[in-house]
């Protein structure tokens, strides 16, 4: 009788173990999101930065400003220099204008002499003199314009420097690049920032990515775009979400230590990403399960 009881208990334990295995999830992992660190693109004092951790920012929102006084003064100085240089060009272009008027008169006379020559009413010498006058005026205009070339180049150089400063002023405005939630704030108003210094970190948490790992034998059961069930701990029960497989690794890797036992860490697995719509409960780093079957 004692042996029968032992066999019954062993059979029950085996049945429970088998049932437990059948209820295991198809993959385990943690939620992640694409985090972006926003850095300063200008040097100077941070005048203001209007954001707090946990705040949702819109794409394109102006959230801060680096001091622009010095770049603005440099721009005004360059504009004044441009006016001075351009004034030198005024006298040159007035000469060109006078010569162009003389050229138009000479061309009219040239055409009149040409018509008279065609009718044998003018001599070859008169035609040659008219042609020579037009050529002389063209060369004079070309020479004057050549004198103006250095002035024009200097004006173009100043315009390029002004454009650089305007770009620098534009980059002094801290513009949020994506719609998302502020994860970390690194600076406060009044601090001196430099190019590349991190200001805050942001991520779009409306859609989360669950990275799970599956064995080679599970690969035939999944494909990109396939709907799956994602479960997280919620008190005594599991909370379920709808998910879709968005990526499957093309190569195997060793099982991550954070989710597997020491014995299983030597096994090769494949990483899979599952996209899940966030209702506000999902957080970066939160553990979850993927179930291929409902």
CA–CA distance, 272 with 252 (Å, rounded to integer): 11
Confidence band, pLDDT 50/70/90 cuts, at residue 294:
low
**Is residue 105 one of the residues assigned to a domain?**
yes
What is residue 156's predicted lDDT score, i.e. its pLDDT? 82
What is residue 100's predicted lDDT score, i.e. its pLDDT? 83
Which structure tokens are listed for 251? 């190569």
276, 282 contact by CB (below 8 A): yes
The yes-or-no verdict on residue 20 having pLDDT over 60 is no
What is residue 271's predicted lDDT score, i.e. its pLDDT? 92
Where a domain ends, among 169, 190, 223?
A: 169
CA–CA distance, 143 with 155 (Å, rounded to integer): 19
Q: What is the pLDDT of residues 135-153, one digit of tens each?
A: 988 888 888 777 777 877 8
15, 140 contact by CB (below 8 A): no
Q: Within 10 A of 224 (CB to CB), how many other CB atoms are there?
A: 11
**Is residue 19 one of the residues assigned to a domain?**
no
Nearest to 137 by CA among 179, 109, 173: 109
- Of all residues in the chain, what percent carry a pLDDT higher than 70? 86
The residue-averaged pLDDT of 58-64 equals 96
Count: domains in the chain? 3
**Three-class secondary structure of residue 32 per DSSP:** strand
DSSP conformation letters of 99-157 = HHHHHHHHHHHHHHHHHHHHTT-S-HHHHHHHHHHHHHHHHHHHHHHHHHHHHHHHHHH
User: CB-based burial of residue 63 (10 Å sphere; 0-12 exposed, 13-18 middle, 19+ buried)?
Assistant: buried
CB contact burial 247-256 (16+ within 10 A = b; e otherwise)? eeeeeeeebe
Residues 47 and 188 in one domain: yes
Q: What is the pLDDT of residues 218-260, one digit of tens each?
A: 888 899 999 999 999 988 889 999 999 999 998 888 766 555 4
**Is residue 142 one of the residues assigned to a domain?**
yes
* Domain of residue 140, residue span: 69-169
What is residue 166's predicted lDDT score, i.e. its pLDDT? 95
Q: What is the pLDDT of residues 92-146, one digit of tens each?
A: 767 777 888 899 999 999 999 898 888 888 889 888 998 999 998 888 888 877 7
Residues 264 and 232 in one domain: yes
Which structure tokens are listed for 182? 């502020």
Least confident of 51-55, 201-205, 268-272: 268-272
Residues 152 and 192 in one domain: no
């Amino acid at each position: 009788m004692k042996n029968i009881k032992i066999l019954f208990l062993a059979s029950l334990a085996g049945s429970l173990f088998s049932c437990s295995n059948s209820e295991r999830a198809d993959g385990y992992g943690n939620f992640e999101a694409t985090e972006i660190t926003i850095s300063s693109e200008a040097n100077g004092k941070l005048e203001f930065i209007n954001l707090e951790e946990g705040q949702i920012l819109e794409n394109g929102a102006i959230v801060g400003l680096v001091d622009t006084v010095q770049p603005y003064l440099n721009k005004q100085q360059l504009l004044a220099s441009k006016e001075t240089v351009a004034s030198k060009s005024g006298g040159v272009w007035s000469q060109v204008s006078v010569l162009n008027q003389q050229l138009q008169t000479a061309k009219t006379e040239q055409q009149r002499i040409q018509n008279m020559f065609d009718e044998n009413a003018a001599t070859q010498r008169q035609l040659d003199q008219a042609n020579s006058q037009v050529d002389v005026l063209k060369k004079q205009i070309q020479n004057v314009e050549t004198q103006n070339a250095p002035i024009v180049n200097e004006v173009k150089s100043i315009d390029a420097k002004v454009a650089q400063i305007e770009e620098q002023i534009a980059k002094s405005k801290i513009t949020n690049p994506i719609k998302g939630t502020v994860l970390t704030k690194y600076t406060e108003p009044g601090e001196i920032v430099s190019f590349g210094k991190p200001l805050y970190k942001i991520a779009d948490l409306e859609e989360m990515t669950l990275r799970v790992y599956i064995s080679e034998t599970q690969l035939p059961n999944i494909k990109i775009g396939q709907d799956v069930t994602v479960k997280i701990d919620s008190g005594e029960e599991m909370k379920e979400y709808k998910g879709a497989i968005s990526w499957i690794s093309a190569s195997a890797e060793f099982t991550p230590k954070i989710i597997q036992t020491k014995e299983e860490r030597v096994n090769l697995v494949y990483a899979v990403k599952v996209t899940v719509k966030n209702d506000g409960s999902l957080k970066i780093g939160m553990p979850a399960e993927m179930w291929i079957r409902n």
